[in-house]
Amino acid sequence: MVERSLSYLDNIKLDSLKGFGEKRYSNLKKSNLSSITDLIRFYPRKHIDRSKIKKINQIDQSDIEKEVTMIGTINNVSVFTTKSRLRITTLSIKDSTGLVKAKWFGPQYIESRFKEGEDVALSGKPEIKKTGSIEFKNPTIEKFADIDELSETGSLIPIYPKVDGVSSGVIRKAIKDALSIIDTHKEEFEPGINDMLPYEVVDKNSIFSRTESFKSIHFPKTIEEFQKARERLALDEFIYLRSIFENLKSEFQNKNKGPKYSFENSLIDTFVTDLPFKLTASQTKAYKEILEDLKNDYPMKRLLQGDVGSGKTVVAAISIYAVINSGYQVVLMAPTEVLAEQHLNSLNAFLKNSDVEINFLTSSVKDRSQVMKNISDGKPGLYIGTHALIQDKVFFSNLGFVIIDEQQRFGVDQRKKLISDSEITPDQLVMTATPIPRTTALSIYGDLEISSINELPPGRKPIVSHLFSGLKKDNEKVFEKCSKHLDDNSQIFVVCPYIEESESSDIQAAEKVFLEYSKKFADYKVVLLHGKMSYEEKENIMRSMQDGSIDILVSTVVIEVGIDIPNASLMIIESAERFGLNQLHQLRGRVGRGEKQSECIFHITNKKSLSTISEEGVKRLEAISTLSDGFKLSEIDLEIRGEGKVTGKNQSGRSDLKIADLRFDYGLLIQSKEIYDDINTLNSSNKVFEEAKLLFPNYFQADGTT
């Protein structure tokens, strides 16, 4: 005999359950609930505690503000209609210690469902009259033959996410019925749900069995029992992720052959020694991790993340040097021409003493014949550019290494275009300046190895942050700061969330702010930049900012990533409470790139202060104005925003997590690795992967993260 598996239960549709007709079944399917597996994995969002059952004579004044559950027998049923046609149904209910009255107002037809002599459980807030009599108004009531039948009273009652057309009570009953059927003998099945974890693993880790977990997540006897069930089911989800990513990695490595390099360690050591500065410990660790990956027979897939200004480009330069010295081409693709030019300038400086040839290809490069010839001939060298590198006429014949900067700015198909033209699969390095919380990185980028640069190069001055309200006195302080930086021949960024003023919004629009600064600083060059401008207009403005001909640039968030203006020493973020925490951190990182002391002002919307903005807005502004570590800020951002908003389908299109919470379950995430290793040792990983494919379909809709 065998236990029912989740795969077997997934083939039993909900319309086979009693009480689930065509209309209810249709409503459930709209909420992605179609099978028994879907139903038992439809976890409650909370529980109401109706477990404390009292005798009638135990109910006193201390109970009037909380819910009380009592059990008794219906003594009398009456219905009364007032002159205003309000229908009132009253049940008198007694137990061995006394009598209470329960009243329902409106057409609920309680009298047709409950009769004299029936045993019932009642839950609600009691009213104690001056005479000492007790009344309940619109309480929850259910009848029973056996106390175990109760699903609305007498225990911790699960409350489920809203499903249109289906009440929480109907879902509760359906889940209780399903679990009851699963817990019975039938033909070849013994009671319970087949556990993907071997008994040895469950026993070793002192965790709930799967059957216990599904019962206790819905109908726990105690909060402690609920917590243990939740931990086991969250652990399962992380184990599924481990299984998916290990299989994705294994499949990628088995299917793809990587380039073979012949660089010597001594060559790299000399290159690093000749750099004009000493690398930080985390930069050294990162480049060594990349070089180790490059030595493998299969292609590298690695994420290099580091805070703004942490020195990712020089780490990339070391690996570029190693690959080109082995006779291969290297591509570095950036999302904008300005960013591509910055990489060109930086890498020219890092590679100037080597014989590496650097090619540049963007839409504005007119004479591209030599670059195109070098590409098609397979000439070793570095090719820096934008989307122009993946146009139909561009074919790399000797590509060994692909570096993608800020990969979230490119589509999956665009990223794949770079690596699909050659017989060997190039090594891939993805760089991002948006630090990712370690939990999110493990669950979203689990098929990539991760290198993190978590310290700034020595000598870089920290940016001084200020939090100013939108009240008159603070507004004047903002202009005083501007005057001080302009007097020092420095440039200023002013960033706003919207382009135009909206009647329904109090957010300061870029156009309004531009006019305000133009008037206030009439002797200076003030320019407006926004997303509705053409690509050429935006590029020209950024070049003017780079060459110092603009004093104040008023902009929307188009300048968020990667703009490097060493002479810009003041960043003002208007309506700062409306930006996300990571976005605020990225914007702040646009200054502090030169020798001057830089400052960033987080300026609340005009006429508002901390006391008049949302609680989340206050948390974000307090965090950004006191912390400069992007990794710490990303963890706080995760806590504020919630796991769903970080990994939900709206953002990544990839999350199937139903109960694991990336904000609070890091310990379980780590434990899942240990358990997965044990599962591998016991040769049970195939079983886990089969379930993972069933329960985490979104992770198989795209071929990995790059």
Q: What is the DSSP string of 424-463?
A: SPPEEEEEESS---HHHHHHHSTTSEEEEE-SPPTTPPPP
CB neighbour class for 274 (10 Å; exposed up to 12, middle 13-18, buried from 19): exposed
Residue at a domain's end among 421, 453, 485: 453
Q: Domain check: are 609 and 706 in the same one?
A: no
Q: Domain check: are 420 and 544 in the same one?
A: no
CA-based torsion, 475, 578, 453, 319: positive or negative = negative
In a domain, 86, yes or no: yes
Q: Which of 691, 701, 680 is closest to 246 using CA atoms? A: 680
Q: What is the CATH number of the domain that holds 611?
A: 3.40.50.300
Q: Which of 285, 638, 576, 634 is closest to 434 using CA atoms? A: 634
CA-based torsion, 135, 137, 140, 144: positive or negative = positive
Interhelix angle 666-681/685-695, rounded to 10 degrees, is 130
> Containing H/E element for 111?
helix 110-113
Residue at a domain's end among 104, 124, 154: 154
Q: Domain check: are 65 and 106 in the same one?
A: yes
In a domain, 132, yes or no: yes
In a domain, 97, yes or no: yes
Beta pairing, strands 552-555 & 491-495: parallel
Residues ≥6 apart with Cβ < 8 Å to 545: 491, 527, 553, 563, 565, 568
Tokens of 9: 């239960």
Backbone angles phi, psi at 30, to 5 degrees: -65, -25
For the entire predicted model, the pTM comes to 0.69
Tokens of 350: 């890092």
State how far the Cα of 184 lies from the Cα of 206, in Å rounded to an integer: 25
Q: Domain check: are 439 and 482 in the same one?
A: no
Q: Domain check: are 446 and 521 in the same one?
A: no
Q: Domain check: are 319 and 443 in the same one?
A: yes
In a domain, 611, yes or no: yes
CB atoms within 10 A of CB 119: 14
Q: What's the domain range around 74?
A: 52-154
State how far the Cα of 394 lies from the Cα of 522, in Å rounded to an integer: 48
CA separation, residue 641 to residues 408, 526, 614, 619, 669 (Å): 19, 35, 13, 11, 20
Q: What is the CATH number of the domain that holds 79?
A: 2.40.50.140
Q: Domain check: are 347 and 209 in the same one?
A: no
What pLDDT is recorded for position 217? 95
For 386-418, b/e burial (b = at least 16 CB within 10 A) is bbbbbeeebebebbbbbbbbbbebbeeebbebb
In a domain, 641, yes or no: no
In a domain, 375, yes or no: yes
What pLDDT is recorded for position 235? 94
Question: pLDDT tens digits, residue range 344-357?
Answer: 988 999 998 888 99
Q: Domain check: are 337 and 368 in the same one?
A: yes
In a domain, 666, yes or no: no
Question: pLDDT tens digits, residue range 375-429?
Answer: 989 999 999 998 888 877 888 889 999 999 876 555 555 556 666 556 788 999 9
The ranges of the chain with pLDDT < 50 are: 503-506, 560, 644-654, 706
Q: Domain check: are 533 and 415 in the same one?
A: no
CA separation, residue 681 to residues 301, 446, 692 (Å): 26, 21, 19
Q: Domain check: are 141 and 63 in the same one?
A: yes
Q: How many domains does the chain have?
A: 4
Helices (H) and strands (E) in the chain, counts: 24, 24
State how far the Cα of 174 lies from the Cα of 182, in Å rounded to an integer: 12
CB neighbour class for 103 (10 Å; exposed up to 12, middle 13-18, buried from 19): middle
Q: Which of 231, 235, 193 is closest to 679 using CA atoms? A: 235
Q: 184 with 175: CB under 8 angstroms?
A: no
CA 573 to chain centre: 24
What pLDDT is recorded for position 83? 87
What pLDDT is recorded for position 653? 39
Q: Domain check: are 448 and 484 in the same one?
A: no
State how far the Cα of 394 lies from the Cα of 417, in Å rounded to an integer: 10
Residue at a domain's end among 627, 657, 690: 627
Radius of gyration in angstroms for the set of CA atoms belonging to the chain, rounded to a whole number: 32
For 128-140, b/e burial (b = at least 16 CB within 10 A) is eeeeeebebeebb
Tokens of 327: 């006779």
In a domain, 377, yes or no: yes
Q: Domain check: are 552 and 684 in the same one?
A: no
State how far the Cα of 495 lies from the Cα of 509, in Å rounded to an integer: 10
CA separation, residue 225 to residues 158, 182, 222, 230 (Å): 13, 20, 5, 9
Q: 205 with 196: CB under 8 angstroms?
A: no
What pLDDT is recorded for position 342? 83
Q: 341 with 366: CB under 8 angstroms?
A: no
Q: DSSP assignment of 512-538, as one string?
A: HHHHHHHHHTTTS-EEEE-TTS-HHHH
- 3-class SS string, 467-506: EECCCHHHHHHHHHHHHHHHHCCCEEEEECCECCCCCCCC
